Chain A
Amino acid sequence: MSQPRSDAARLEMRDIRKAFGAQIALGGVSLKIQAGEVHALVGENGAGKSTLMKILSGAYQPDSGTMFVDGQPYAPANPADGRQRGVGMIYQELSIAPHLSVAENIWLGIEPQKGLVLDRAKMRAEAQATLTGLGHGAIDVDQPAGQLSVSHQQIVEIARALSMGCKIIVFDEPTSSLAQADVQRLFDLIDQLSRRGLAIIYISHFLEEVRRLSSRLTILRDGQSVACHVTSSITDDAIVAEMVGREVKDLYPRSERKLGEVLLEATIPSRGTLTLRRGEVVGLCGLVGAGRTEFLRAVFGLEENLSQKITIAGHTQLAEPRNNWLHRMGLVSENRKEEGLALELSIADNVCLPALKKVAKLGFVSPATCEAHTAEWIEKFGIRCQGPNQAIGRLSGGNQQKAAIARLLEADCDILLLDEPTRGIDIAAKAKIYEIIDQLVADPIRPRAVLMVSSYLPELLGVCDRIAAVRRGQVGEATPVAQTNSEKLMRAATGV
């Protein structure tokens, strides 16, 4: 690794500007990162983080502005060029070739050759050495990468960046698909990389991760770099305020809630029992893989092996999506892209899908009615879009999620099952979703009931009335929030 000139930052981006047509994505962003530093980049979705990183990687060219790596001008023509000049990216969605071996993945694009043939011995040996250096020598370099766990695939990507001699590594939401223990291991690895003198840019929506890892952080808002702070000298509230550009008074609003009749009773054999009353939010917490989502899906009849009878508003029936919707129970999937939404279809098509049977007359539906209904939800939830006919895949995650919740209300649901309703969405959209949940359960005329799964304890403690911990598939007793706290819940979830 070349030594940086003592006076130069490892990476400097100066007054970067980029516009797409009339839309200004970046209006002069500057960023300076020293060798050995972990620098966090925070901001809402759409603040310009990904555009900035795409310029850094070489995927986009800036309209103006300059970049320097170790004091040398840096203007990558494309991502391959960027990587060769020392900038590696680890994206949220991993770019592993699943059928190739670990060694082949690590060397992808820079395969060493002996004459005309691959130098396999070198590939294997150096891949092994790199992995060992990362503390993961146990990963078999001959195994197809697709067979590895997600966390190990991530290690392979990091190894790939190191093999290319990267001096700057960007982590874009790297923990979103990792289990808690793997997250810890990743953090240790990032610490280790920074000690080796690499500059790390860390992008995350989770402020506690930012706190754990970074020494300094830069806040982006509306394509501007608002401020650069030493992480230890700024409070979470101040960060959020600078991110959204205003004071967020109460992230978790809590109107007066009145408990009503029991709406849902579900017993899943060998998993546990849960009751849900009108006017309350019940949360399920637990470790990833503990069976929270499984329980929720079993209640909705989406787990074939756990299909069960449930009681909705005193009416016992087989848990099955079609029945559930008829009895006013709907589910928002944790997986928006694969299960939650039909991405090519319009917002209106997505929102109205379960309600079609109800609005139809003799099997006919009028697209105009559906669009009009959807327009109301767009207005009510502040969904940013061009109109009800826009393909839902074009919206941001937060707006997609609002539409996914609107679907339940369009189908007139009383019982809302929400699986990780704020995963991967920005803080403003999160605040809006907390507000929506609160208004639904506190509705004076028709309070709804919400059962939600979340990996984020502060959110559950903020939103819920009762919380049950799920451990090894077992759903525990739901405790009122007043009688619990994150420590007690963690104990219940881990069984300590």
Chain B
Amino acid sequence: MKTTTSFTAKALNALGPLLALILIWGLFYSFGNQAIGSSEGIESIVQQTVVIGIGAIGMTFIIISAGIDLSIGSAIALCSVIGAKLAVSDNSPAIVTLVTLLAGAAIGLAIGLLVVRAKLIPFITTLGTLLILRGIALGLAHSQPINAQEANWLRFWLNSLPENMRWLIIPPGGWLMIILAALAAGVLRFTVFGRHVFAVGSNEQTARLCGVAVDRIKLYVYMIGGAFAALSGLMLVSYQGQGDPTGATGYELDIIAAVVIGGASLSGGVGSVFGSLIGALIMTVIRTGCTLNGIDESTTRIITGTIIVAAVAIDRLRRKAA
């Protein structure tokens, strides 16, 4: 008989990606440029992780429910344009944030309705919205980046920390991401809604049999995904100082990879928010490490791809053994 209690098994499951992160970081630190361990290095890693990480929190909900959103990169770009436009026309920070988040949730609602009401497959639906949202972003911005350098309150989140705020260690956007992840993890574990998301993803028919409002859960999940994409868009403006309609291209793949590296299953029912954040960190650490050590772009991509495949393969082995 197996003696490991399922608690330790669960802890090990969550620890796997974390150990991988420490290992990869340790390798770069020991054998490469130690700048990866400096406060600037860590700051830069966090800055790059936040956009992907916040998007990955929402994507975790979607993937646990056995859905997928390939258009999240386009949604991030569109929301960054909306946010930047609002910010430069002197709206209050609250209005900018609220309207952008609502726009994101509306995008999610539209995708959700297509999936639930029109009964379209999420993969194909969001392949379509990937183009549609990108098109809207380009149209809205007249294909030009919108400069939002002046919006200091927005820049604050992911700018380098000023000397008097060094005690924060990482930019406030990083803390925002961690707090939101904690909230999201709590929602998934401790609320009826969260347990229903797992049930829908694990077996939709069982969920329906047990009286779960499957369609409503799916709508909410895509709306949550959209709202997090919007926030991710605002963080992108914060980091780059502009809303770029051509920005965030390919982020959907980084975000989905982060969620999967974090232990989620694309067939639904399994996933963890903190795992997804660690997945996002792993990707950024590799990228930063490669840059710091002068590894060229082509090798960086090959390394990143290999790590994604290896992470999924290891995960599969672990599940088999469990």
- Using a CB–CB distance below 8 Å, which chain A residues touch chain B? 21-23, 302, 321-326, 331, 333, 338-346, 349-350, 352-354, 356-357, 360, 363-367, 386-387, 389-390, 407
Q: How far is the CB of A135 from chain B (nearest CB, A)?
A: 37
Residues on A with beta carbons closer than 8 Å to the beta carbon of B2:
386
Q: A345-B202, A387-B5 are in contact. Are A321 and B210 (CB under 8 A)?
A: yes
Q: How far is the CB of B20 from chain A (nearest CB, A)?
A: 22
B205 pairs with A339, CB closer than 8 A: yes
Asked if B209 is at the interface (CB within 8 A of a chain A CB), the reply is yes
A345 pairs with B198, CB closer than 8 A: yes
Asked if B53 is at the interface (CB within 8 A of a chain A CB), the reply is no
Asked if B199 is at the interface (CB within 8 A of a chain A CB), the reply is yes
Interchain CA distance A350-B198 in the complex, whole Å = 11
Residues on A with beta carbons closer than 8 Å to the beta carbon of B208:
302, 321
Asked if B192 is at the interface (CB within 8 A of a chain A CB), the reply is yes
Q: A322-B213, A349-B198, A353-B199 are in contact. Are A342 and B192 (CB under 8 A)?
A: no
B7 pairs with A341, CB closer than 8 A: no
A344 pairs with B211, CB closer than 8 A: no
- Using a CB–CB distance below 8 Å, which chain B residues touch chain A? 1-2, 5-7, 10, 189-193, 195-196, 198-199, 202-203, 205-213, 265, 269-270
B195 pairs with A342, CB closer than 8 A: no
Q: How far is the CB of A303 from chain B (nearest CB, A)?
A: 12
Residues on B with beta carbons closer than 8 Å to the beta carbon of A342:
198-199, 202-203, 206-207, 269
Q: How far is the CB of B216 from chain A (nearest CB, A)?
A: 10
B190 pairs with A366, CB closer than 8 A: yes
Residues on B with beta carbons closer than 8 Å to the beta carbon of A322:
211-213
Interchain CA distance A346-B5 in the complex, whole Å = 13
Can you give 10 A-B contacts (C-beta < 8 A)?
A: A333-B205, A333-B209, A342-B199, A345-B198, A350-B206, A352-B195, A353-B206, A360-B191, A364-B192, A367-B189
Interchain CA distance A251-B184 in the complex, whole Å = 50
Residues on B with beta carbons closer than 8 Å to the beta carbon of A389:
5-7, 10
Residues on B with beta carbons closer than 8 Å to the beta carbon of A366:
190
Residues on B with beta carbons closer than 8 Å to the beta carbon of A354:
210-211
Determine which of B198, B203, B211 lies in contact with A341 in the assembled complex, contact meaning CB atoms within 8 Å: B203
Determine which of B6, B192, B205, B209 lies in contact with A356 in the assembled complex, contact meaning CB atoms within 8 Å: B192
Determine which of A323, A353, A364 lies in contact with B210 in the assembled complex, contact meaning CB atoms within 8 Å: A353
Residues on B with beta carbons closer than 8 Å to the beta carbon of A356:
192, 195-196
Q: A344-B270, A345-B198, A354-B210 are in contact. Are A339 and B203 (CB under 8 A)?
A: yes
B6 pairs with A386, CB closer than 8 A: yes
A344 pairs with B202, CB closer than 8 A: yes
Residues on A with beta carbons closer than 8 Å to the beta carbon of B195:
349, 352-353, 356, 365
B6 pairs with A340, CB closer than 8 A: no
Q: How far is the CB of B7 from chain A (nearest CB, A)?
A: 7
Q: How far is the CB of A185 from chain B (nearest CB, A)?
A: 31
Q: How far is the CB of B194 from chain A (nearest CB, A)?
A: 9
Residue of B nearest to A23 (CB): B1
Q: How far is the CB of A423 from chain B (nearest CB, A)?
A: 16
Cβ-closest 8 pairs across A and B: A342-B202, A322-B211, A389-B6, A342-B203, A339-B205, A325-B211, A354-B210, A353-B210
Interchain CA distance A22-B190 in the complex, whole Å = 37
Residues on A with beta carbons closer than 8 Å to the beta carbon of B211:
321-326, 354
Q: A353-B206, A389-B7 are in contact. Are A344 and B192 (CB under 8 A)?
A: no
Q: How far is the CB of B44 from chain A (nearest CB, A)?
A: 38
Residues on A with beta carbons closer than 8 Å to the beta carbon of B269:
342, 344-345
Residue among B191, B199, B203, B270 with most chain A CB within 10 A: B203
Residue of B nearest to A366 (CB): B190
Interchain CA distance A352-B210 in the complex, whole Å = 10
Residue of A nearest to B6 (CB): A389
Residues on A with beta carbons closer than 8 Å to the beta carbon of B5:
386-387, 389
Residues on A with beta carbons closer than 8 Å to the beta carbon of B209:
302, 321, 331, 333, 339-340
B6 pairs with A364, CB closer than 8 A: no
Residue of B nearest to A387 (CB): B6
B192 pairs with A339, CB closer than 8 A: no
Q: How far is the CB of A201 from chain B (nearest CB, A)?
A: 29
Q: How far is the CB of A144 from chain B (nearest CB, A)?
A: 23
Q: How far is the CB of B196 from chain A (nearest CB, A)?
A: 7
Q: How far is the CB of A369 from chain B (nearest CB, A)?
A: 11
